Amino acid sequence: MSGLVLDSSAILAYTQRKSAVAPLLGEVSSVVLPALALAETRAELAYKEELFLLSLLTSRLPHVLVAPLSAGDAVGVGRLAAMLDGRLGLAHAVAEAHRREALLLTAYGKAVRKAIGELDGIVDL
């Protein structure tokens, strides 16, 4: 596998040690965390261990990149979010996966396929 983009559901699953997110991170050359997905996830976390794992993911793994949302992309991401039930973090992740020709890791694969298509591959949680 080459690159992997995590949406909010995938980041949350990692911080809660759910599913097989951690092993996947070791199989790819790069991991992208869209800024909106990261912010949405942080808003959901309350426990010390979850916050530690989020910090580990964002600052201690060398092949992880936090992708900012530029002013030029904000309107397009908003348009995508409208197609994805208002999920801004998911929309930003879809945009980054498309831009980077990377796989998208999400619990909302069915919704993405219905609204957008397969992209360059979707890994379902």
> How many folded domains does the chain comprise?
1
* Residue with tokens 């609204």, as numbered in its chain: 115
Residue 37: give the domain boundaries: 3-124
pTM: 0.92
Structure token digits, residue 81: 């979010």
CATH of the domain at 36: 3.40.50.1010
Tens-digit pLDDT string for the chain (125 aa): 589 999 999 999 999 998 788 888 888 989 999 999 999 999 999 899 999 999 999 988 788 999 999 999 999 999 999 999 999 999 999 999 999 999 999 999 999 999 988 877 898 88
